[in-house]
Structure 1
Amino acid sequence: MAKRIALVAAIAFIPLASTQSSYANSSLSWQSLPGSLYTPPTTPWAYAPDASWPPTTIGTPLEPQAPDDELLQMLSEIDPNRIKHIVSTLANFGTRHTLSTQNSSTSGIGAARDWILKEMTAQASPDMTVELNSYIQGVAERISFPVNISNIVASIPGTDDPNRVYVVTGHYDSRRLDVMDYTNPSPGADDDATGVAVVMEMARVVALHGKPKASMIFAATAGEEQASYGATHLAKTLKKEGRNVEGNWNNDIVGTGRNEPFAAINDYTVRLFGASIFYPNASTSEEQTEAGLIGAWNDSPAQNLGRYIAEIAAGAAEAVGMQVALIYRPDRFLRGGDHLSFLEEGWPAVRFTEAVEDFRHQHQDPRVQNGTQYGDLIQYVDFDYTARVARTNLASMWSAASAPAMPRNVSISEAIGFPAADRDTPLEVLSNESQFCWNTGEDPLAAGYELVYRASGNLQWTHVVSVGDVGSVTVDLPKDDVQFGVRAVGKDGKKSPAVLPAVAGSC
């Protein structure tokens, strides 16, 4: 029998006055800047009144998970000076084009590859392995001759659930206006030496600390500018190995918040792109039709991973110094990146990109033209900003790897909360209640579960119902009006990303 939580709906939401997260009272000035997602402080985080009907008091307003002391220490060790060193070194290799020379120690993608491998190996702990994930790519799109493509991959195994994996990526290749020009200068400081710096600095800090419960992979990929060849090879390698990839954090162009049009909050904002359930075509047409029928186009695994990352960043706002702006599309308009390779394997994957891109300094040949400096040059990178992006990645990825896995086989029942099928339909079925079921007993890290929900027009989960260590719950909430998710909770309170319930005949 499902655990039942049935509370009468109230007239309006209750302001979160006594249970505010610590960041709400923070003295940090950036949190009160125009465009901040953390104001006003007397309103529950992520609650948008103009998009949040119907009113209810079921559950409690969601309060973002706070970081523990271990995570706070790790975040404090992200070093902007090391990020500067990484970005500067990579930019000084001249070009890192995928087709550039691989037999020089001072220029070309081979020099960059060897330097990253050496640096990551030097920083690795005894528990961390660093290796090349390589293959020969034949002639193909944007590949004019066979070329060795190598990802540098650092891995630390999970202590409790090593087959569950979280992957952070940034690509170390670069390009010019002519994507086939592999000899002339292409410093690629922002795109994407900054993403590689995030990956490398995260790997260094994790190697110093710990033993996550699930495995973590830190990968500098190649071939992104040609067609994400390296990331595709890495994703297929993990698929072939049977790994359970519960998330890809892809960092691509994360170098500054200072581009025009500039607003002060941009210095403390990183965009996070999450694809809907309709793209790419990794699910069946029947599943996509069902998602359309139940309004779940913004409840894909990628978007729920994005919600999770934004929530973790909010709970650790004082430590990460960054807010996450969720963008519900796979990438920038008609563009793409390495995370799409993970999406195509059916795994949750998101992309971090700076608040506003400056196209004078992206994919450009370095030059001064009509008084304007073009080129992806080191002077346009803010290393403190990139460090904040790294902390945002580390806080959320470490939290996920320290929490239980996402619940499996989560469903919402058609047997409750529907009109009568015939004269004998029981009265208890004729309600607006919603019933959910999921598997239990499969994950020793899971101590209980939570039902999260939001009004359909809201970007973020706003309310949570703690249901305990059960596999089914019925709540007095209308499935017609709100969107739901179920997430696992560990003994220490760490939570997994939420899972969209699939429609089932009954629990």
Structure 2
Amino acid sequence: MSGSVSVAQRRASADQPDYARLGNPIATPAPDAQIRASLHEASPDRIRQNIERLVAFNNRSTVSSTETDLKPGTGVLAAADWIRSQFEEYSKACGGCLEVKVDEFVEQPQPGFGNSKPRIVRPTPLRNVYAILRGTDPVASKRMYLVTGHYDTRVNDVMDTHGFAPGANDDSSGTAVSMESARVLSQHKFPATIVFVCVAGEEQGLNGSAHLAKLAKSEGWQLEGVLNNDIVGGDTTPGDTLQSKTRVRVFSQGILPTAPIEQIRAALSVGGESEGPSRQLAREVLEVDRTYLEKLKGNVNSAHGSLAGTQPQELQAVMELRLDRFLRGGDHKSFSDQGFPAVRFTEWRENFNHQHQTVRQENGVEYGDLLKFDDFHYIAQVARLNMATLGTLAMSPGVPQNVKVVTSNLDNDTILTWDPPASPTPGPVRYEIVWRETAVNDWQYAADAARYSGTVGEHSVRLPVSKDNVFFGVRACSGTACSQAVPPVPAR
């Protein structure tokens, strides 16, 4: 009979665990019209042109800033000046909406890493170039979201300041993502603030990002998310059948080793090794990806020249449960060390013959980080993922504060409490409770907090789901934009 429920259906429903019956499966949010429009403005041609110009500086070694015999128009300082000029052009196009700044400092000589030789042997000028798109709301604009890539390069000898070091992938690709994000998003308005950054000194030991992260900390930046793009060129090597142009890795740190030892012990005691702020930011990237990139269709970039007009492939963000790759590091670590949520985007499969290599051919193998190995459509897709993430976060109310789970009673309920975001967007804010099984990495279920509110007070819920069986998070939403979730801290 139509509308009847069979015995088997009733039994299947009864067999569902409490966490599955009391929440809704995580649904893909509806895309925001402004963000979706911005993605269609990203241009593979613009990205190619910027990378070509960066390669033309010949060698962007950080320590080339101390050389006096470089050919005019080459070297790392010339590259910094050009990047600044591009940010200024983007600002002119949006009526002066970008504040273009240079974080210039002198890095002092330092010892090497382990048994390696020092990479800074004399006082060395460094320049981080960045542009700030201030949020339109006086309160929400205090929140900041940052995208970065490093523009310095190297070859086999990290101290070589004159040999051809194109760095077309490592990391002109990431620099191009920051620049294209600035060009496109500066034409739009967001309540919170977005910062577009190109740092130096990565190859010498994350020097530029370390200085900027410390600057952000000392100046009290309310930095709720950092997106680092490093080696996102989609290396295209003839004969390589294992590369994926539909995946990008998202690396993030779980427990911060710089956190107080009591905080680390508390996290370990409840299995919170994967609940740190950077890991939560990575989960937000995955949701943004599902909203905008996994099913992105349509003829994008139709007005942008010779590389335009192709159907973009879907892009799947894949969370990697580690800070970075083996034997390597990146600028997101500098921000993570200062307590800021930070992730790294990297192509699926790197070709190490095309990284940190002197340009040459040996035994039929071509070495060098050359322009011809970049895939500009892939870089554009990664740029779109960055733009969509930045836009979503900048339109969200920001992260809830002081999220706690009450552990004073032995029961099968879960009581969560929180405070509103520190600098919310104007208008109503709603809260979602999200959770997942302890053996699952991404959020599975969600419930509107209003469904369970009022049971224990304002900004609190009591759910008939055991806190022992799932990981919880609380996120703040405005319209279709939600912040990354914040895991609760046990409290009596």
Q: Per the alignment, in what secondary structure is the counterpart of residue 487 of structure 1?
A: strand
Which of the numbers 128, 132, 142 marks the counterpart of 1:151? 128
Aligned position for 1:107: 74
Which residue pairs with 2:269 in the alignment? Answer: 293
| 1:77 and 2:35 matched | no
Q: Which residue of 2 aligns with 1:465?
A: 447
Q: CA deviation at 1:448?
A: 1.3
Alpha-carbon distance in structure 2 between the residues aligned to 1:62 and 1:455:
13
Contact 1:167–1:245 (CA under 8 A) maintained in structure 2: yes
Q: In structure 2, what residue type is equivalent to 1:301?
A: P
Q: Deviations over 1:61-103 (max 9, x none)?
A: 0012232111111000000000000111111211100011477
Distance 1:289 1:441 in 2: 26
Structure 2 letter corresponding to 1:137: E
Residues 9, 483 of structure 1: alpha-carbon distance in 2 compared, 3 angstrom cutoff: farther
How many residues align? The count is 441
| Correspondent of 1:68 among 9, 32, 42 | 32
What is the aligned partner in structure 2 of residue 268 from structure 1?
246
- What corresponds to 1:137 in structure 2? 107
Q: Is the 8 A contact 2:235 2:374 kept in 1?
A: no
Does residue 97 of the first structure (1) align with residue 97 of the second (2)? no
What CA distance in whole angstroms lies between the structure 2 residues aligned with 1:221 and 1:384?
24
Correspondence for 2:285 = 309
Alignment partner of 1:409 is 2:397: no
Counterpart contact for 1:258–1:267, Cα < 8 Å: no
Q: Secondary structure at the match of 1:166?
A: strand
2:443 partner SS? coil
The answer on 1:228 being equivalent to 2:221 is no
**Partners in 1 of 2:369 and 2:284 — Cα distance?**
32
Q: Secondary structure at the match of 1:386?
A: helix
The residue number in structure 2 matching 1:177 is 156
Letter in 2 for 1:233: H
Equivalent residue, structure 1, for 2:306: none
Asked if 1:216 corresponds to 2:194, the answer is: yes
- Could you tell me how far 1:12 is from its partner in structure 2? 5.6
Q: How much identity, in percent, do the aligned residues show?
A: 37
Q: C-alpha distance in 2, partners of 1:486/1:243?
A: 23
Report Cα offsets for 1:274-306 as digits up to 9, x if no partner.
1011x3x23111111111111110111001000
> What SS class does the counterpart of residue 249 from structure 2 fall into?
strand
1:368–1:436 Cα change, 3 Å: same
What is the CA–CA distance in structure 1 between the aligned matches of 2:77 and 2:102, rounded to whole Å? 12
Rounded Cα–Cα distance in structure 2 between residues aligned with 1:196 and 1:444: 30
Inter-partner Cα distance in structure 1 for 2:459 and 2:322: 32
Specify the SS of the correspondent of 2:143: strand
User: Structure 1 residues 267-276 or 235-244, which shifts more?
Assistant: 235-244
Deviation at 1:164, TM superposition (A): 1.1
CA distance in 2, matches of 1:350, 1:139: 29
- Asked whether the equivalents of residues 412 and 434 of structure 1 are also in contact (C-alpha less than 8 Å), the reply is yes
Write the distance in 2 (CA, Å) between the matches of 1:224 and 1:263. Answer: 28
Q: Deviations over 1:457-491 (max 9, x none)?
A: 1121010011138410011111111111100111x
Match of 2:177 in 1: 198
Contact 1:269 1:325 in 2 (8 A): yes
CA contact (8 A) 1:172 1:192 kept: yes
The 2-side partners of 1:391 and 1:205 are apart by: 10
The residue aligned with 1:343 is 336
Amino acid at match of 2:403: V
- 8 Å Cα contact 1:274/1:302 also seen in 2: yes
Mapped partners of 1:110, 1:365: distance in 2: 21
Shift of 1:387: 0.2
Q: Partners in 1 of 2:408 and 2:434 — Cα distance?
A: 21
Partner of 1:329, secondary structure, is coil
How far, CA to CA, are the matches of 1:258 and 1:390 in structure 2? 18
Alpha-carbon distance in 2 for matches of 1:374, 1:11:
61
Give 2:148's aligned amino acid: T
| Distance in 2 between residues matched to 1:336 and 1:207, nearest whole Å | 30
The equivalent position to 2:464 in structure 1, one of 462, 476, 492, is 476
Mapped to 2, the partners of 1:151 and 1:300 lie a distance apart of 27
How many Å separate the matches in 2 of 1:352 and 1:495? 21
CA contact (8 A) 1:406 1:496 kept: yes
Aligned pairs for 1:18-57 (under 5 A) are 56-57=20-21
Choose the corresponding residue for 2:231, options 233, 253, 274.
Answer: 253
Provide the secondary structure at the position in 2 that maps to 1:162: helix
Deviations 1:3-58 (A, max 9, x none): xxxxx994466xxxxxxxxxxxxxxxxxxxxxxxxxxxxxxxxxxxxxxx876211
Structure 1: where are the runs of 5+ without partners? 1-7, 14-52, 419-430
Where does residue 454 of structure 1 map in the other structure?
436
SS in 1 for 2:142: strand
AA aligned to 1:485 is G
Alpha-carbon contact 1:261-1:356 (below 8 Å) kept:
no
Residue of 408, 417, 427 corresponding to 1:437: 417
Please give the per-residue CA displacement for 1:108-136, whole angstroms capped at 9, x wherever unaligned.
Answer: 11121111111111111322111211101
Q: 8 Å contact 1:485–1:501 — kept in the other structure?
A: yes
Question: For 2:435 and 2:317, how far apart are their aligned partners in 1?
Answer: 19
1:442 and 1:235 map into 2 onto residues whose CA distance is 20
Q: Which amino acid aligns with 1:303?
A: R
| Distance in 1, Cα, partners of 2:327 & 2:72 | 36
The one-letter amino acid of 1:439's match is D
2:477 aligned with 1:489, yes or no? yes
Q: Counterparts of 1:192 and 1:493 in 2: how far apart (Å)?
A: 33
TM-score (norm 1): 0.84
User: Match of 2:308?
Assistant: none
Q: CA RMSD in A?
A: 1.9
- In structure 2, the residue matched to 1:424 is none
1:30: which partner in 2?
none
Counterpart Cα distance in 1 of 2:393 and 2:376: 26
The 2-side partners of 1:138 and 1:401 are apart by 36
- Flag the 1:261–1:61 CA change in 2: closer, same or farther, 3 A: farther
Amino acid at match of 2:185: V
Shift in Å at residue 106 of structure 1? Answer: 2.1
Aligned to 1:186: 165
Amino acid at match of 1:135: F
Distance 1:157 1:77 in 2: 21
Residue 500 of structure 1: how far off its partner (Å): 1.0
Contact kept? 1:12, 1:55, Cα under 8 Å: no
Q: Give the AA of the match of 2:433.
A: L
2:323 paired residue among 309, 327, 330: 330
Q: Counterpart amino acid of 2:369? A: D
- Measured in 2, the distance between the counterparts of 1:196 and 1:132 equals 15
Paired residues of 1:157 and 1:215 also in contact (CA < 8 A): yes
